[in-house]
């Protein structure tokens, strides 16, 4: 799994015995062994887990500090046979200073020690009574249990083979400071940050803490593992809840249930390759000021994940939370972009080809919304249905019904006679069913739209979507062309959801026609229907399921995923829907078409960007039309 960038990380909240390091060490070892059995590669405890955070003046007792070292030696001995890296929170005397530290252990050896930087001394916190800040640290090494080890806040722990797997540590208050150490950790290459904390509970603090961890994870483009002391830390005036949180680039992957008396463990898999890709494309991240004086400690991060402990959405473009709000926002972005263009053109008319399919339906609904925004009459929306050789009664009637329901202007112009004349002119047999036969019809329709737009003083609104542009599933200078495109960053899977949302918020008559459009198979209808008049040419039978292509497109462009990784993720995500051979077959189609069809994308019209992925050559995708894709296919063939 490390090959794909997945690292299993964990957080332990140990059932604490205050001021009893040996007892705590035994409990921690038990939980480390549990984490090891679950395939966790790196696990952390809370702050001062060997003693407890609330020991007060007992931190100044020799007896307690000597017991801490004894407890640490127990952990070293009892975990030396485990293939797991452990981070242990403990107090540590360093010559004339007492430090609050995180000790990193691998195979029974201490590999590095990170001290706390920001020592809180306000409200219920008064750590400065005992602990010294790392800013006052006079040494960079310490002899602990007979071994000289580095001690510094500027330590990076990096896997010897997979350099993307690099982690660093900060402790509790460090995160709450104005400039957390994790800022520099991330800028110096740490893809995962561990935070050992003792954060007491008061009303509302949990939400604030989650927001803080989420924002730091997002800001540093990192995986962030946060763990705090549990309920057995509670004493006198404070209660601790034992919050454990694991985030990736601001998104919560896993959390525990607070206020548990017994020890508990959470773990999940962080995708460090995704994080590194995000950093590489974010020039602001690389351009930030940072202190680069770090020491890198090489470690062996185990690779023992058998089953991935995270899932991926089958429909990555579809929002999962606040759907209604997100769909409304998407339509607002689309219609606002069009409205702005119409204002610039002095409120010109809009011309659109209506096929009765999904894409033209969404584009039409966007125009209607833009006209409402501009307080324009829908009569200035010129809708043209252009029956051809493959047009079925179902799509024809749906197109007409939809236009009438919204009070737009309807025109019908058949393309059959003009297409036959053109076939005759170029010497194409009218019984030919080649790509030329199909493209003649697509270009004839575009010519009609453009000419009518000239006649009425309007602009042609494009209907093609993101998925079609990615696959080049459009006729060059046919449906590929318009004067403004409103669907160009809406993938096919999202088109369907948006129409469904509009349908659910429509009158009964509109609901009926929109539902039938949703139920109609996707087709360009350029080949004649079957004998019963049903659609014979079905797009997904030829180029593959859009649900797969949209999945590939998302991971390929958004995160730069390799072909092998896309195949791996698709197998997990669609295990109940497609066979491995089908996934591989359509991934091959995706790669070939994506690379070979760039010349079409290089000349697409203006179109509003809606989501994180756009294929505009003026915006998000700058790619040569002649790029070689053999290495991608070779990697796929080797699977």
**Catalytic residue IDs:** 47, 116, 172
Determine the angle formed by the axes of helices 358-374 and 323-344, rounding to 10 degrees.
Answer: 70
Contact by Cβ (8 Å): 490, 356: no
Of 43, 63, 27, 194, nearest in space to 116 by CA:
194
Contact by Cβ (8 Å): 149, 142: yes
Rounded Cα distance between 298 and 454, Å, is 68
In the chain, what is the straight-line distance between the N-terminal and C-terminal CA atoms, in Å?
Answer: 15
Strand, coil or helix: what is 598? helix
Q: How many CB atoms lie within 10 A of CB 425?
A: 8
Rounded Cα distance between 546 and 540, Å, is 7
Of 159, 250, 234, 249, nearest in space to 198 by CA:
234
**CB within 8 A of 628, min separation 6: which ones?**
595
Bridge partners (DSSP) listed for residue 411: 384
Q: How far is CA 618 from CA 162, 278, 605, 621, 625, in A?
A: 35, 20, 10, 7, 15
Burial of 242 (0-12, 13-18, 19+ CB in 10 A): buried
DSSP conformational letter for 122? S
Residue with tokens 């833009």: 370
Contact by Cβ (8 Å): 636, 625: no
Instruction: Give the tokens for residue 607.
Output: 């179109």
Of 591, 545, 544, 546, nearest in space to 566 by CA:
591
């Amino acid at each position: 799994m490390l090959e794909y960038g997945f690292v299993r990380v964990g957080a332990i909240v140990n059932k604490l015995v205050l001021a009893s390091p040996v007892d705590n060490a035994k409990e921690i070892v038990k939980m480390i062994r549990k984490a090891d059995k679950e395939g966790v590669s790196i696990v952390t405890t809370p702050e001062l887990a060997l003693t407890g955070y609330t020991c007060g003046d007992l931190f100044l007792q020799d007896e307690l500090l000597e017991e801490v070292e004894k407890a640490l030696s127990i952990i070293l001995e009892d975990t030396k046979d485990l293939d797991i890296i452990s981070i242990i929170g403990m107090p540590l005397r360093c010559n004339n200073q007492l430090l609050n530290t995180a000790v990193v252990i691998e195979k029974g050896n201490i590999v590095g020690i990170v001290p706390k930087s920001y020592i809180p001394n306000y409200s219920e916190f008064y750590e400065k009574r005992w602990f010294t800040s790392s800013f006052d640290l006079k040494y960079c090494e310490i002899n602990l249990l007979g071994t000289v080890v580095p001690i510094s806040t500027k330590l990076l722990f990096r896997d010897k083979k997979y350099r993307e797997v690099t982690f660093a540590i900060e402790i509790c208050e460090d995160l709450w400071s104005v400039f957390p150490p994790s800022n520099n950790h991330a800028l110096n290459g740490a893809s995962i940050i561990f935070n050992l904390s003792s954060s007491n509970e008061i009303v509302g603090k949990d939400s604030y803490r989650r927001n803080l961890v989420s924002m730091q994870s997002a800001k540093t483009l990192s995986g962030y593992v946060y763990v705090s002391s549990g309920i057995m830390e509670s004493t006198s005036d404070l209660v601790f809840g034992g919050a454990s949180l694991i985030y990736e680039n601001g998104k919560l992957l896993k959390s525990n249930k607070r206020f548990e008396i017994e020890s508990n463990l959470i773990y999940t898999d962080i995708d460090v390759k995704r994080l590194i890709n995000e950093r590489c494309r974010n020039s602001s991240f690389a351009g930030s000021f940072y202190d680069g004086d770090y020491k890198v400690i090489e470690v062996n991060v185990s690779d023992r994940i058998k089953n991935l402990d995270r899932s991926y959405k089958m429909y990555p473009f579809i929002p999962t939370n606040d759907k209604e709000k997100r769909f409304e926002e998407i339509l607002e972005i689309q219609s606002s972009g069009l409205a702005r263009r119409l204002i610039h053109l002095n409120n010109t008319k809009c011309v659109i080809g209506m096929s009765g399919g999904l894409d033209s339906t969404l584009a039409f609904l966007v125009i209607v919304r833009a006209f409402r925004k501009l307080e324009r009459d829908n009569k200035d929306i010129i809708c043209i249905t252009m029956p051809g050789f493959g047009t079925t009664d179902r799509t024809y009637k749906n197109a007409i019904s939809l236009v009438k329901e919204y009070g737009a202007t309807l025109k019908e112009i058949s393309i059959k006679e003009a297409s036959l004349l053109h076939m005759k002119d170029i010497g194409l047999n009218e019984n030919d069913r080649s790509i030329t036969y199909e493209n003649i019809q697509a270009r004839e329709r575009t010519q009609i739209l453009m000419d009518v737009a000239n006649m009425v003083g309007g602009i042609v609104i494009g209907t093609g979507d993101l998925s079609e542009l990615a696959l080049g599933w459009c006729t060059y200078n046919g449906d590929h062309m318009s004067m403004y495109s409103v669907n160009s960053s809406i993938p096919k899977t999202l088109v369907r959801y948006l129409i469904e949302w509009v349908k659910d918020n429509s009158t009964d008559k509109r609901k009926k026609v929109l539902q039938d459009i949703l139920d109609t198979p996707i087709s360009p209808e350029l080949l004649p229907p079957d004998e019963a008049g049903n659609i014979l040419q079905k797009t997904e039978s030829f180029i593959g399921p859009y649900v797969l292509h949209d999945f590939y497109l998302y991971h390929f462009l958004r995160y730069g995923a390799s072909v092998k990784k896309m195949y791996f993720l698709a197998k997990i995500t669609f295990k109940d829907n497609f066979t491995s051979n089908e996934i591989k077959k359509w991934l091959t189609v995706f790669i070939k078409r994506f690379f070979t069809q760039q010349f079409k994308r290089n000349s697409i019209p203006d179109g509003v960007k809606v989501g994180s992925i756009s294929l505009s050559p003026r915006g998000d995708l700058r790619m040569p039309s002649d790029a070689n894709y053999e290495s991608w296919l070779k990697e796929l063939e080797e699977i």
